[in-house]
Structure 1
Amino acid sequence: MKLATYKDGSRDGQLVVVSRDLSTAHYATGIAARLQQVLDDWNFLSPQLQDLFDALNHGRARHAFPFDPARCMAPLPRAFQWADGTAYLNHVELVRSARNSEVPASCATDPLMYQGASDELLGPCDPVVVAREEWGIDFGAEIAVVTGDVRMGASPEQALDGVRLVMLANEVTLRNLVPPELDKGFGFVQSKPATAFSPVAVTLDELGDAWQGGRLHLPLHSSWNGRKVGICEAGADMDFHFGELIAHLCKTRNVRAGSIVGSGTVSNKAVQGSGGSMDWPKGYSCIAEKRAMETLLDGRPSTAFMKFGDTIRIEMKGRDGQSIFGAIEQEIVAAA
């Protein structure tokens, strides 16, 4: 099934069930008012939502209405936890090699992860509000999962059983604020503003055979100012699957229902030509990677970060060509 949260003037919005083709929706009133309620009582409430989803897809839902992504908040407008990993080692290696920094050996066996802000998560069409362009505004196209309860010390296989929903994310980073924060040795705060999520979150059965081994094997499309800049395969070069990411998070603590875990920037490896030159035919899912590519090829970056008025669109389509999660479509806006 596919679930979304409509804006209703409150902090947490109103839960709606969305049809498979994203054309119609139906309020989940009478079953659950908020998505967090469903996650807290998944085994009891999700079958009822599934029945409504089936009725909606067969035209039997009495109070269906046209689905409008612009009315959506994030599926979970505020979450108990937002933890973003780096499941794609190519992203780490690419960005660090451009600045002559070695990747720690432990990264090959243990994923990087940081704890992000989860008190405000943006809807798919909400603007990205930033005070200054010179902070280095960058988008970050990712996959994310929403969990149920996962106990402390769970194995990757056990942790994978805790995945309830999948969605897309735009993890915005203010790149020029990153170095001074990391130099302090205590991680990201100011350089990671609010993250945005796709209009709908979907259950694993909606992904079919594209979901295998905790990875989503479909291309993720990124368009910057209307120009396609990335069609990166989300499954191919994902070194740590979502079970491993969740297990990393719950090594020393319980993970509770309503936690969101991100994959990190979706990234594909370079292809080496016959003359030894490097190329990235799938493009990029964040500008930092593009600048790293330019540095490796030309000795310096030439692509600037985002400006006020720029737009970013992030979307994933199934093998039938239909949008699965709906699109994240945001504009960079100056803070008032």
Structure 2
Amino acid sequence: MKLLRVGPVGQEKPAILDDKGTIRDLSRHVSDFAGPSVGFEALNAIRAIDLSTLPVIENPDRIGACLASVPNFYCIGLNYAKHAAEAGMDAPKEPIIFSKASSALSGPFDPVIIPRQSTKTDWEVELGVVIGKAASYVSEADALSYVAGYCTVNDVSERAFQIEKGGQWIKGKSAPSFGPVGPYLVTADEVPDPQNLSLSLSLNGATVQDSNTSDMIFGVAEIVSYMSQFMMLLPGDIIATGTPSGVGMGMKPQRFLVEGDVMELEVEGLGRQWQQATNAQ
């Protein structure tokens, strides 16, 4: 299934794509997509619905984030071998885990807002993993059975805030609009191998990131299992699993977002995003 949310900010309706690509309104059956409502029991209830009975949503004016909110927005750092190399850092021996503020959550076509005082706002296309049931001390062999679905994520980052101001990375990752997710939450049954998905990002029409999840140092199953040894993952949690090479910080000379820049990004089978950068007011 491909689940999405359509409508103005704060007024989104839960929806689903039928087998013809038509958007169908799920709001009579589902209040929204967040937390337990993207757990396995809720997803199975949606599967049982005859989609032909649902109202059609034609020409929606906006597609919002595929999740209305998240209990936790986790990220994995330096998880592609070539990205670690371009950052001048050794490949990590264990997954590097950090968080984005949940308030960074944004729609896939909403503007990316360059924060006040920012000099180094950067782009990062990533595979997003959405948890479908509570996960604690799970084995790597069982880990994918805890995944409800996947989505495209742009882990927008302010590198000066992240690296030059000391402390934790979260403050460079968490400005409003720094977490575009969607357009779809694609259920796990439609992604047979999360370690063989192409992903790419273009800036003003020029491709800057072009890779495959096979370049991950730690795969999805290993990440979910590893994280569950230290915390309980909850239904609706999202994990951005790292970005490939081609970020602005790794360019020579470095290149960061300025007002008017356009990013287009995609993860194979999960949908395409489009964002234009704008300065904070």
Calculate the TM-score normalised by the size of structure 2.
0.88
Name the structure 2 match of 1:6: 6
Match of 2:27 in 1: 29
Q: What residue is the counterpart of 2:75 in the other structure?
A: 84
Structure-2 separation of matches of 1:233 and 1:33? 35
In 2, the alpha carbon distance for the partners of 1:227 and 1:93 equals 22
Seen in structure 2, the aligned counterparts of structure 1 residues 67 and 2 have a Cα distance that, compared at 3 Å, is farther
Which runs of structure 2 are paired with 1:111-260 in the superposition (5 Å)?
111-132=95-116, 134-181=118-165, 183-184=166-167, 186-193=168-175, 194-207=178-191, 211-212=192-193, 215-234=194-213, 236-260=214-238
Structure 2 match to 1:327: 272
What CA deviation, in whole Å up to 9, does each residue of 1:267-289 have, x standing for no partner?
4xxxxxxxxxxxxxxxx2x2223
Partners in 2 of 1:231 and 1:302 — Cα distance? 19
CA contact 1:79–1:119 (8 Å) conserved in 2: no
Q: CA RMSD in A?
A: 2.3
CA contact (8 A) 1:133 1:307 kept: no
Partner residue, 1:49: 46
Q: CA deviation at 1:61?
A: 4.0
Q: Percent identity?
A: 21
- Following superposition, the deviation at residue 263 of structure 1 comes to 1.0
Structure 1 residue 62 displacement after superposition: 5.0
Post-superposition Cα deviations, 1:162-183, rounded to whole Å, max 9, x if no partner, equal 00010000011111222223x3
C-alpha separation in 2, matches of 1:188 and 1:62: 41
Aligned residues: 277
Question: Is the contact between residue 126 and residue 240 of structure 2 (CA under 8 Å) also seen in structure 1?
Answer: yes
* Structure 1 residue 191, shift from structure 2 partner: 4.7
| 1:288 maps onto 2:217 in alignment | no
**2:118 and 2:31 mapped to 1: Cα distance?**
41
Q: Is the 8 A contact 1:222 1:229 kept in 2?
A: yes
Q: Does the aligned pair in 2 maintain the 1:3–1:16 contact within 8 Å?
A: yes
TM-score by length of structure 1 reads: 0.75
Q: Distance in 1 between matches of 2:67 and 2:260?
A: 27
Give 2:110's aligned amino acid. Answer: D
Quote the Cα distance in structure 1 between the aligned partners of 2:271 and 2:169. Answer: 32
Deviation at 1:243, TM superposition (A): 1.7
* Rg (Cα) greater in structure: 1
3-state SS of paired residue (1:264): coil
- Equivalent position SS for 2:83: helix
8 A contact 1:24–1:67 mirrored in 2? no
In 2, Cα distance between equivalents of 1:120 and 1:302 = 28
Deviation at 1:266, TM superposition (A): 2.7
Q: Measure, in 1, the Cα distance between the counterparts of 2:207 and 2:8.
A: 33
Matched letter for residue 241 of structure 2: S
Q: What is the CA deviation profile of residues 100-142 of structure 1, one whole-angstrom value per residue up to 9, with x for unaligned ones?
A: xx527xx23x111101111341001111112347521111000
Cα distance in 2 between the residues matched to 1:28 and 1:288: 41
Distance 1:316 1:154 in 2: 26
The SS at the match of 1:74 is coil
For residues 9 and 231 of structure 1, do their structure 2 counterparts lie closer, same or farther at Cα, with a shift above 3 Å needed? closer
SS of 1:73's partner is coil
Structure 1: runs of 5 or more not aligned: 97-101, 268-283, 292-300, 318-323
**Retained in 2: the 8 A contact 1:147–1:260?**
yes
Most deviating of 197-206 and 160-169: 197-206
User: Does 1 or 2 have the higher relative contact order (CA < 8 Å, sep 6+)?
Assistant: 2
Which one-letter code corresponds to 1:35 in the other structure? F
Structure showing the higher helix proportion among its residues: 1
Letter in 2 for 1:10: G
Whether 1:17 aligns to 2:16 is: yes
Cα deviation, 1:249-275, whole Å, max 9, x if unaligned, reads 2212211111001111034xxxxxxxx
